[in-house]
């Protein structure tokens, strides 16, 4: 009996010691466009010695606490020195059941290893976020150690305004198109590509750390070139309420795509931000009630899902237009807005034209073109004045009228075509 109690005590002590070896910080999670769930963060070595061969376990549970799956992976550094952290990306890779994930737990274990010295120096870094959401980071580093640095790589960790990890990228050293080691005193370039477009626009800063079989570098932190650096704090009404209710999660890729267009493109510009103020005032006047009803009405949830898929395609095309006009963000957002508005009018409002020609009012469709000419002229003039004078009021009026004009023009064109 005493022996059994002693064994139990030793097991509990071992579990507590293992729990105290590692801690987790700066965590976040999201579901990507392929319905893979990512759990991101940093694992910290809280022990007094370096730890190598670290393996992390992520356990995923449904709302009833039933274990759905466990996945294992290693953090991005080969050795974690005492008191240091390594970024990680744990993934739930069963798309059909990802919507059932309600929570998860993390654990890690490793073996004592020799502490890895700082022998690589990061010399410079340049980054950019392209219009499609791909984040590029070019790094120059030098081996200051007395030995060759074999299998060198640089790991980039992107953080949002709250300090949470939103994306991770990694690249090996290359020379002449081939992976290369770094001799003592040798410089090497690293080209990191982070393609998680649902996440990259959130980046406010990023850190870099070089890792090789022999050496680490100090962690260097840089301001992000992305849109997140200009992100405004949430005012509590920034959610895509109806879409979130339809797809049952803010992490759903469809909801994330809507946010990418809004936060990653529209809110980047004066014209887009001004329009979003008008849109939000209208949208949030009814969306909370619709979303609440939607959660209790499966038929409405399914209807909204079907209705949103054309919109997602429209936003993809509008994003491409934004990229073509990328020489000026303000021109680009107007072009993207016109594209989106016209296609929304064609897909969602064009059926109204059939109703128009079935009534007496349909016979007067030709007269509407004069009102549209006035509306187009007034909207473009208001946008021009707003841009030159940095007037939010003029831009709100102009962008809202421009959207309505584009939708009305498409509806009128369809109505006239049907009459012919």
pTM of the model: 0.59
- pLDDT computed for residue 234 by the predictor: 38
Residue 349 and residue 139: Cα distance in Å, rounded? Answer: 49
Looking at residue 231, what is its pLDDT? 41
Residue-level pLDDT at 241? 77
pLDDT of residue 20: 67
Contacting residues for 228 by C-beta, under 8 A, at least 6 apart = 160, 161, 166, 201, 202, 203, 204
How would you write the pLDDT of the chain (420 residues) with one tens digit per residue?
434 444 343 333 344 444 468 999 999 999 887 889 999 999 999 998 999 999 999 999 999 999 999 999 999 999 999 999 999 999 999 999 999 999 999 999 999 999 999 999 999 999 887 756 788 999 999 999 999 999 999 999 999 989 999 999 999 987 666 778 999 999 999 999 998 877 887 889 999 999 999 999 999 999 987 555 444 433 333 457 788 888 877 667 788 788 788 877 887 788 888 788 778 777 766 777 888 888 888 899 899 999 999 998 999 899 899 889 888 888 989 999 999 999 998 888 877 665 665 555 545 555 677 888 898 999 999 999 988 887 878 888 989 899 998 888 888 888 777 666
Give the CA count within 13 Å in the CB-facing half-sphere of 294.
20
Q: Yes or no: say if 211 and 182 are a contact pair by the CB < 8 Å rule.
A: no
Cα–Cα distance between 218 and 214 in angstroms, integer?
14
Domains assigned to the chain: 21-112 (2.60.40.3230), 118-229 (2.60.40.10), 232-419 (no CATH)
**Cα–Cα nearest to 123, from 187, 205, 171:** 187
Largest CA distance in the chain: 97
Q: Which residue has the tokens 């109204």?
A: 352
The Cα–Cα gap between 53 and 405 comes to: 61
Go through the chain and tell me how many residues it has: 420
Measured CA to CA in angstroms, residue 166 lies from 22, 216, 263, 275 at distances of 21, 23, 15, 27
Distances (CA, A) of 42 to 75, 88, 155, 159: 8, 6, 12, 11
**What's the CA angle centered on 231, arms 227 and 237, to 5 degrees?**
130
Task: List the one residue out of 162, 135, 156 whose CA is nearest residue 26.
Answer: 162
Distance CA 264, CA 110 (A): 39
3-state DSSP call for residue 318?
A: helix
DSSP letter for 308, please.
H
Return left, alpha or beta for 133; rule: phi > 0 is left, psi -120 to 50 is alpha, else beta: left
Distance CA 209, CA 122 (A): 8
- Cβ contacts of 203 within 8 Å, gap of 6 or more: 129, 135, 158, 159, 160, 166, 167, 224, 226, 228, 229
CA atoms lying within 13 Å on the CB side of residue 165: 26
Q: Which of 182, 248, 316 is nearest to 35 (CA)?
A: 248
pLDDT at site 5: 43
Please report the pLDDT score of residue 142 as a whole number: 95
Q: What is the DSSP string of 126-194?
A: EEEE-TTS-EEEEEEEEE-SSS-B-S-EEEEEEE-TTS-EEEEEEEE-EETTEE--B-TT-EEEEEEEE
Is residue 74 within 8 Å of residue 57, measured between CB atoms?
no
């Amino acid at each position: 009996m005493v022996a059994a109690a002693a064994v139990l005590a030793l097991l509990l002590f071992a579990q507590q010691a293992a729990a105290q070896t590692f801690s987790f910080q700066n965590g976040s999670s999201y579901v990507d466009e392929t319905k893979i769930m990512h759990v991101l963060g940093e694992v910290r070595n809280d022990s007094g010695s370096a730890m190598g061969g670290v393996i992390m376990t992520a356990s995923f549970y449904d709302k009833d606490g039933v274990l759905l799956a466990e996945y294992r992976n290693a953090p991005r550094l080969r050795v974690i020195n005492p008191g240091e952290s390594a970024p990680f990306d744990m993934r739930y890779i069963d798309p059909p059941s990802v919507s059932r994930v309600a929570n998860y737990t993390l654990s890690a274990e490793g073996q004592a290893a020799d502490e890895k010295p700082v022998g690589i120096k990061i010399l410079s870094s340049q980054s950019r976020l392209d219009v499609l959401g791909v984040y590029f980071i070019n790094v120059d580093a030098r081996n200051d150690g007395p030995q060759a640095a074999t299998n060198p790589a640089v790991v980039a960790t992107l953080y949002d305004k709250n300090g949470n990890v939103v994306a991770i990228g990694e690249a090996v050293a290359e020379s002449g198109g081939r992976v290369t080691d770094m001799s003592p005193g040798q410089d090497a370039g690293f080209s990191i590509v982070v393609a998680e477009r649902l996440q990259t626009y959130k980046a406010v800063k990023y850190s870099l750390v070089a890792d090789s079989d022999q050496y680490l570098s100090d962690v260097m932190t840089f301001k992000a070139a992305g849109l997140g650096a200009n992100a405004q704090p949430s005012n509590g009404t920034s959610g895509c309420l109806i879409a979130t209710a339809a797809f049952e999660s803010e992490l759903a890729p469809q909801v994330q795509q809507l946010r990418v267009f809004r936060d990653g493109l529209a809110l980047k510009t004066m014209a887009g931000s001004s329009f979003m103020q008008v849109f939000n005032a209208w949208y949030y006047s009814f969306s909370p009630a619709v979303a609440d009803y939607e959660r209790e009405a499966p038929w409405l949830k399914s209807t909204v899902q079907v209705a949103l898929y054309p919109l997602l395609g429209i936003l993809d095309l509008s994003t491409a237009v934004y990229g073509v006009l990328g020489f000026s963000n303000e021109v680009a957002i107007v072009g993207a807005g016109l594209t989106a508005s016209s296609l929304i009018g064609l897909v969602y409002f064009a059926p109204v034209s059939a109703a128009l020609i079935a009534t007496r009012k349909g016979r007067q469709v030709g007269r509407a073109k004069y009102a549209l000419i006035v509306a187009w002229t007034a909207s473009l003039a208001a946008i021009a004045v707003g841009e030159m004078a940095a007037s939010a009021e003029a831009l709100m009026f102009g962008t809202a009228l421009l959207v309505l004009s584009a939708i009305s023009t498409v509806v009128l064109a369809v109505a006239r075509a049907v009459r012919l």
